[in-house]
Amino acid sequence: MDTRSKILTLAAALEIGERPITIVIGTFDVLRAAHARELEEARTGAARLLVVVLPRAVELLPQRARAELIAALRVVDYVVPAGPNEVDALIHALAPTQVVRLEEADEFRCRQLREEILGRQNHIDAGTLRKTRRK
């Protein structure tokens, strides 16, 4: 199965008639194991799981690539790349049994990743500097 077929336009998503449905909203930049666990947990008890992938001002991966990664997860039924202004219309039209918002957690994870990378870079730079001074 081509999992990209799970990726819907906003118009197509508004036509989903299957209920109950759970909507999970996030940026998923970078997709991590915690996301898979959270999506699995959100799916519990829901007949369908729709994931909304939001854009980021500074993104590591394009929104479409992130949508494809999410679509590849077996637990996900539908993926909608959408803007923040489109989320309310989707929630109103689909009347989900549950809405899980991961935007803040995703931003926290991005900051954590950035700090970890910078910390490693600073550690490497300090090691290089020490080696240079010894010569």
Per-residue confidence (pLDDT) for residue 108, from 0 to 100: 82
Task: Evaluate whether residue 131 is within a structural domain.
Answer: no
Does residue 54 fall inside a structural domain?
yes
Q: What is the pLDDT of residue 127?
A: 57
pLDDT at 55: 94
CB burial of 9-23 (b: ≥16 within 10 Å; e: otherwise) equals ebeebeebeeeebbb
pLDDT at res. 9:
93
Q: Are 39 and 24 in contact (CB under 8 A)?
A: yes
Instruction: Please count the structural domains in the chain.
Output: 1
Q: Which residues of the chain have pLDDT under 70?
A: 1, 46, 120-135
Neighbours of 38 (CB within 10 A): 16
In a domain, 20, yes or no: yes
The verdict on residue 132 lying in a domain is no
**Is residue 133 situated within a structural domain?**
no
The answer to whether residue 59 sits within a structural domain is: yes
Indicate whether 113 belongs to any domain: no
Domain that holds residue 49: 3-103
Whether residue 14 is contained in a domain is answered as yes
pLDDT number for residue 25: 96
Beta strand 21-26 pairing with 78-81: unpaired
Query: Model's pTM, two decimal places?
Result: 0.81
Q: What is the pLDDT of residue 57?
A: 87
* CATH number for the domain that contains residue 44: 3.40.50.620
